[in-house]
Every structure is written in structure tokens, then in C-alpha cells.
Amino acid sequence: MEDLIAALHDKIAELLEQAQDLDAALQNAPQSESTVEKVADLLKRVCNALSETLKMLNDPQSPLHVLARRLENTPLGALPQTLGKFLEEHRQFLEKIVRLPGPTVDKIIDYLKDETEARYTDVDVFDSADLIKTLESFRDLVCEISAYAHDLAFVWDPQLIKPIVKGVIGTCMAVGDVTGAIIAHQDPTGWVLVKAIKSTVSGVRMVKKSINAIKERLPGWLSKVKQGRMQRNNPPPPRL
């Protein structure tokens, strides 16, 4: 299992780097040919990385299955005074285990704080099936957009792509504490397990928000893309 955990950590680092690059590329509006090529390449890589992550999570030796056996359907809550510790331990994980640069870590911690602060003391339940189902839905949307990504040259819509950045971060939040909980399973306080539930629930919630945002824009964008393809394939006859 150690090799699988290490591979998941590598995939988290890869996905977060891709999310950062995607976010940076979207700042280059209005679009240029190089921007569209960059975004198309990143979407393809994110699609592949999400598929590989899901394959590892579904592996019989996956830490997700181990954590599910310990926590599935067990309600756990957190004390409000532990929020600072929660955020700081995530910072340490991202810096020391995933080895991300400081500015990237700062942005992720800001996202995590925004997502968890208001609901930090809620009683949550670990649901591995919902985690997998949510990540699969997100992966499918990213891959669908990736298949049409070069059409961004004709129908530029950064608001369709931006939720992917947050969805990737949410994915990494959820997966990171699945592995973190197993690494630190000997913790007798149970704090690591509480943190795992808070992170996975918060991460899944962030991914679901991204899914909803993408679904709001995707049908309209695809309609414009397909209309544009038809017009380019069937140009109007020349005027006499």
C-alpha cells in the first residue's frame, strides 16, 4: 500500500500543478492561439490524471477502502478551536509531503478555509461511494470538455473552465487526507480521522460545486460549438 500512497501523492502534486497552470493560462484573455493550445493540453492532462487517480482509489489495496472500513457511516464533528490546527496540518502536508511551492500552498489553504470555516463544527459522515461517484462525474465532465477544447478558439468561455481549477483542488483535498489518515493511523486521539472526514467532505463539496457550475454553462457552450462547426463545414454560398 505504501507504493500506492506515494503514487497518489505524486498524482496530487501533478494535478495541483496542472490546476495552477490552467488558472494562469485563463488570465490571458482574450484568447490567443497559444492560449487555446495551452488550455487544450492542460485539460487533456487533467482528464488523464483524474482517470489515473480514480483507478488508484478503486484499487483493492487502496487506502480509501481501509479508511472506509474504519469510518464508513460514522458521524464525527470537530471543535471550533481546532480549525487553526486543521489548516496548519494541511499546510505542512502540502509543503513537506506533496512538496508544493509556498504560493500554491497559500492559495489552496485559502480555498480550504473558505470551504470549511462556516461548516467546520457540523457533524459529517464519511461516504466513500459518494466520493468516488463525485470524482467520476467531475472526471467525465473534464474529459468531455477536453474533447472539444480546440473549439475554444472559436467560442472562448473561461467561465466554463475556471470551475475545473477549484474542482481539481477539491479532489486533491479529499484524496490527500485519505492517504494522510492511513499514514498516521496509529494516532490514538482520533484527530487524524476527524481531520480526514472534514477534508474529504469539504473536498467533495467543492467538487460538487464545480460540477454544478460546469453543468450550468456546458450545454450552451456545446450548442455554440456545434453550430460553429456546422457553419465552418457548410459556409454560405458566394453572393452573385
- What pLDDT, on the 0 to 100 scale, is given for residue 234? 63
User: d(Cα 64, Cα 57) in Å, to the nearest integer?
Assistant: 6
pLDDT at residue 187 tops 80:
no
Percent of the chain topping pLDDT 70: 91
Q: Are strands 124-125 and 75-76 parallel, antiparallel or unpaired?
A: antiparallel
- What pLDDT, on the 0 to 100 scale, is given for residue 103? 83
Compute CA distances 116 → 49, 74, 86, 88, whole Å: 25, 19, 10, 13
pLDDT at residue 238 tops 60:
no
pLDDT, tens digit (0-9, with 9 covering 90-100), for 24-64:
888 866 668 888 999 999 999 999 999 999 999 999 888 88
Percent of the chain topping pLDDT 90: 41
Query: Which residues contact residue 69 at a Cβ distance below 8 angstroms, ignoring those fewer than 6 apart?
Result: none
**What is the pTM for the complete model shown?**
0.88
Only one residue has cell 494562469, namely 24
